[in-house]
A and B are shown apart, each in its own frame.
Chain A
């Protein structure tokens, strides 16, 4: 059983469209992180959300932590080909980082 369930696992959309990806769990977390990984590279931390209901913006990316701190979403506005990559949510478990399965996003020009 996956601690973190990400959906969708694959998403392919046209440039300019909006999208939302989700990270869900039945457990409560003190914080949650979102990463983006491009092909052949390591993951890069985008944001850490800590407070229930928290919303953080990073240019066209909006991250939200659920009120109950069990889930999170990432919304991208006006997607661009440069947004293509694997988006991973992760939580800090017992001295280790646990990742969801990831959402592989492709933005077509």
Chain B
């Protein structure tokens, strides 16, 4: 149980285009989902926290207009990287916190974004 999926696993896009990444909790309801960014050889950096049905809370230094987060249901959150640029290339990972086990986050497998 407690499986989180991400789609796509890899995406390559041209500079200036927008890319949407989906994060789904497959067998549990997630009231809260988190989006992380990870650069090569570095740890995970929290970008934002999204609660179902409300606006996401962004960490300091993360542009909310560039990284649009939508958490429309208890099993799906999406991250849209708008007008992507090469510096946005990174590994994006989501996690989901269950409605019951609120102290545990279950991580997705990540999405590798490459912006040309």
Contacts and interface: CB of A to CB of B under 8 A. Distances in A.
B40 to A, nearest CB: 10
Interface of B: 4, 6, 32, 34, 41-44, 46, 49, 91, 93, 95, 103-110, 112
A97 B105 contact: yes
Nearest to B49: A96
Chain B interface, >50% SS class: strand
A97 B104 CA distance: 9
Given A96-B34, A97-B34, A45 B104 contact: yes
Interface of A: 31, 35, 40-45, 48, 86, 88, 92, 95-102, 104
Given A92-B103, A96-B49, A97-B34, A40 B43 contact: no
A55 to B, nearest CB: 21
A98 B59 CA distance: 12
Nearest to B32: A95
